[in-house]
Structure 1
Amino acid sequence: MAQPSNNSVGVDNTFRRKFDREEYLERAREREQKETEGRKSKSKGPPVQRKPLKHRDYEVNLQSRLGKTQVVTPIAPLSQQAGYFCSVCECVVKDSANYLDHINGKKHQRALGMSMRVERSSLQQVQERFEHLKKRKDTGSFTEQDFDERILKQQQEEEERKRQRREKKKEKKREQTAEEETIDDPDVAALMGFGGFRSSKK
């Protein structure tokens, strides 16, 4: 029986990847050092203070371009391209739903200088708001007399509209009869080419 020699190769399990721990530790130290330097350079400037969210002081008009046609050219400036133009962010949004999402979104609010947080109200502010709404409700309450006056006013407006419609119909009828009378004239009918349509029976 042949004895195995000590020089025999055997199983090769050197295919597994070997990592140099020192090299990777050095890389991690360099990365941490760069991150701390970056944080220090960012913190040199004053922190940005953004105002809390507040109500819009203008009304969003989404119906301004409803039913209008527009020629789309690639060389037109952004404000004249098809869609809704945001002058704050200088971008064009293609439809009204996306435009509404954009102006309520984070990017637009940050450009306006606001954070996405809402200011917390104090107890005193809430009580003042309730008092304000209560006063407004008291002054805006309707009596039966006010209600009757409003109904009477609406009825008068409806009657006025009906009267205007009747007048328009009468005006149209007058115009039609005037046109028919001009056509009934045999000379005018002959000029217009209607002379051959009459029957010869009497």
Structure 2
Amino acid sequence: MSQSSNHAVGVDNTFRRKFDPEEYIERAREREQKEAEGRSKSKSKGPLVQRKPLKHRDYEVDLESRLGKTQVVTPIAPLSQQAGYYCSVCECVVKDSANYLDHINGKKHQRALGMSMRAERASLQQVQERFELLKKRKDTVGFTEQDLDERILKQQQEEEERKRQRRERKKEKKKEKAAEEETEIDPDVAAMMGFGGFRSSKK
């Protein structure tokens, strides 16, 4: 038997696995069906909660009471005593004021308070009442254009006075500095060194 005939009779390694498309289509349908059943179960876990619409805060957000204060923080301290801003509703600590405001205005916090992220649609009567309230507030403050002009003029005068005082202080400092320099130079020492002062020789 020749060498060429050995190669021809060798092992058939050209076999390739063949996929049945129908089988995989069926598998995909089963998976989609299971996912749909899982979604419907998760949706119907409990009764629907009717959330209240968004409303204004009826309290002042305290961001400055601990400003500039030093605090010793230990890892075993409760969350409310750790560094940062503590949210008692969500029981979490936020490290800075900007993120704290984002948190209390965010969806997670509002949902914990039982509110949806939709604001209540105002009626015509509510809008009119709000305008009336703002008009009354404006009247009680009592600002007129003349008052505003007077305040602007007063501010300008105060600013000019501050500038004038600043200029005077600078002049006084210059005079004091010049006087100090003159007293620092001893005339005997200056004569020994061969000069009578720092004045110009030009006449």
TM class, shorter-length: 0.5 to 0.7
Normalising by structure 2, we get a TM-score of: 0.57
Quick one: which amino acid aligns to residue 33 of structure 1? E
Aligned residue pair count: 138
Residue 28 of structure 2, aligned match among 20, 24, 34 = 24
1: CA distance between counterparts of 2:42 and 2:84?
Answer: 40
Pairwise CA distance, 1:11: 9.5
2:76 alignment partner, SS class: coil
Pairwise CA distance, 1:31: 3.5
Over 3 Å counting, the alpha-carbon distance change for 1:26 and 1:111 in structure 2 is closer
1: CA distance between counterparts of 2:119 and 2:33?
Answer: 41
Q: Which moved more, 1:74-83 or 1:135-144?
A: 135-144
The CA deviation string for residues 46-102 of structure 1, in whole angstroms up to 9 with x for no partner, is 311111111111111211111111111101111111111111111111111111111
1:73 alignment partner, SS class: coil
Partner of 1:86: 87
2: CA distance between counterparts of 1:29 and 1:55?
Answer: 45
Pairing of 1:1-202 with structure 2 (within 5 A): 12=14, 14-15=16-17, 17-19=19-21, 20-21=23-24, 22-39=26-43, 41-42=44-45, 45-142=46-143
Quick one: which amino acid aligns to residue 51 of structure 2? R
Pairwise CA distance, 1:118: 1.1
Over 3 Å counting, the alpha-carbon distance change for 1:9 and 1:124 in structure 2 is farther
Q: Which runs of 4+ in 1 moved over 6 A?
A: 7-11
2:53 alignment partner, SS class: strand
Quick one: which amino acid aligns to residue 105 of structure 1? G
Over 3 Å counting, the alpha-carbon distance change for 1:49 and 1:143 in structure 2 is same
2: CA distance between counterparts of 1:33 and 1:106?
Answer: 28
Over 3 Å counting, the alpha-carbon distance change for 1:141 and 1:64 in structure 2 is same
Structure 2: runs of 5+ lacking an equivalent: 1-8, 152-203
Structure 1: runs of 5+ lacking an equivalent: 1-6, 152-202
2:118 alignment partner, SS class: strand
2: CA distance between counterparts of 1:52 and 1:133?
Answer: 24
Q: Percent identity?
A: 71
